[in-house]
Amino acid sequence: MIFKGAMTAVVTPFRDGRIDEDALRGLIRWQIAEGIDAIVPCGTTGECATLAYEEHDRVIRIAVEEAAGRVPVIAGAGSNSTANAIRLGKQAKAAGADGMLQVTPYYNKPTQEGLFEHFRAIVEMVELPMLLYNVPGRTAVNMQPETTARLAEIENIVGIKEACEKLDQLREVIRLTPEGFAVLSGDDPMNFDIYAAGGVGAISVTANVVPGRVAAVWDAFESGDVEGAKELHAELTQLNRAMFIETNPIPAKSALAMMGKCREEFRLPLTPLAEGHRNELGDILRQEGLIE
């Protein structure tokens, strides 16, 4: 199995409209030092939809440089255009990424056959291990377990980040896919339940803020301490909820700004956290000992 464990869907820090490279490097170094098993740049949390091709490439190259082989870098490379997804995948490979994350095409609302052909076309053109990414709440299309199982038979499609928010569907994905196909949680509140169902890790938003604690849940579970993992996961309930009080990555980046890790800067159409939510988030971070 290539990819497993607690992974961070890392934010993309901005400063005055540009990528804040120093902040990004610092975040990645901190994540690795805290025990995260992989870095996932240029995903939803990384505001990939508003990154130019050149910026997308730069973020991935920075992640690869800072990881320096210590942990894998799985580059977000998805698009609702198959041709663009192939381009981004090739760009990720050239940048030195260890794998690519490919989301189900948004807005187009492809059929299940369209999804199959989309991902098959990408993996045939890009020689890089692929994680599928199913997130119906973002894309308006839900990849069915049978489609995932078909794709799992294709060489170099090695796993899926599943964020369908349906544990029964996820269990069906695990049942239908071959041994060694990595099913990863894409929904922080469900991480422990997905591990218990047979998942082998998570690509986490909450890990941006508390990487060590998210990693500890997986580490405990993998070591056989299931009850300990369950307790550690329960302790993250408040933070997991807080990361989604507004559209991701607004709360995560706002929390990091309060912690002094980056600026609270977004690209439209994302806007800063509403004042009421800002106060709520600040209270939670203080309760968790993350700010004073």
Domain count, the chain: 1
What CATH code is carried by the domain that includes residue 33? 3.20.20.70
Domain with 14 in it: 5-225
Whether residue 290 lies inside any domain: the answer is no
The arithmetic mean of pLDDT across residues 54-83, rounded, is: 97
Q: Residue 243: phi, psi to the nearest 5?
A: -70, -10
pTM above 0.85, yes or no: yes
Residue 280, both tokens: 């709520």
Instruction: Indicate whether 1 pLDDT > 70.
Output: no
Average pLDDT for the chain: 97
How far CA 76 is from CA of 2, 80, 116, 221, in Å, comes to 16, 13, 19, 27
Whether residue 287 lies inside any domain: the answer is no
Point out the residues that are catalytic. Answer: 133, 161
201-256: per-residue pLDDT in tens?
Answer: 999 999 999 999 999 999 999 999 999 999 999 999 999 999 999 999 999 999 99
Whether residue 241 lies inside any domain: the answer is no
109-156: per-residue pLDDT in tens?
Answer: 999 999 999 999 999 999 999 999 999 999 999 999 999 999 999 999
